[in-house]
Amino acid sequence: MSERVVIVTGGAAGIGAATVKKFASEGARVAIWDVDAARGEALATSLNHSGETAAFRQVDVTTAASVDAAVQQVLHTWGRIDVLVNNAGIVRDAQLIKVKDGEIVATMTDSAFDAVLGVNQKGVFLCTRAVAQQMITQKSGVILNASSVVGLYGNFGQTNYVGTKFAVIGMTKVWARELGRFGIRVNAVAPGFIATEILKDMPEKIVQAMVARTPLGRMGQPEDIANAYFWLASDAASFVHGAVLSVDGGVVTGT
């Protein structure tokens, strides 16, 4: 991965930060895109102690102008783009219709639905559309999309999130067909239950229930997903294309 240029969206924390660190440790030049400027700048600074390894830019992946400008900055800085990791994602969980004591008490709101689609699906579309144009010119590149185990099997209370993660798989399949002829590989990763900061707000019994559904008996770590991204981006996976790699400890999901 030495000298290759990598973009990681949602790269300031969690799986994104672990992915940034993994690629940087292997010699890549990494563009960190995130809305969290404080964390993004801090991460870039921590990686640049021995040279210009990482660069942060505050990017709203739901806005084409923000994405397009960020792509131009990467090209101005490093001249090419070898890997795009579409990692940025949010959750706004709620039941479609919540019933208590036989009465409808709540529904998933339009704003919750639209917000998740904007980041998790449209964001992947906008970033890929912008970056793929450069990769076509280069006749090479790797695009990696963040799906989820729930995008394969569904999950209670996540109509919006599951919808986007299922859609990402579909877009991955389409782009594999469309972009392969230009030397661009496109794959998706479907993480299971990963120990990120989101878990801090979850009740302990929910966390333990997640572990109980995982045959390996533990939560995944952000580094587990970062390692999967790295392998898929590397020449070791040069014939892997249009695939969905589950990294989930064998998790079994349900209601």
Question: Which residues form the catalytic set?
Answer: 161
Strand order in the sheet with 244-247: 54-58, 29-34, 5-9, 83-86, 141-146, 184-191, 244-247
- Look at residues 71, 61, 218, 36 and name the one whose alpha carbon lies nearest to residue 145: 61
- State how far the Cα of 71 lies from the Cα of 211, in Å rounded to an integer: 39
- CB 3 within 8 Å of CB 29: yes
- What letter represents residue 209's amino acid? A
Find all residues with CB under 8 Å of 16, minimum gap 6, and list them: 8, 9, 10, 32, 34, 85, 87, 88
Strands 29-34 and 97-100: unpaired
> What does the DSSP 8-state code read for residue 121?
I
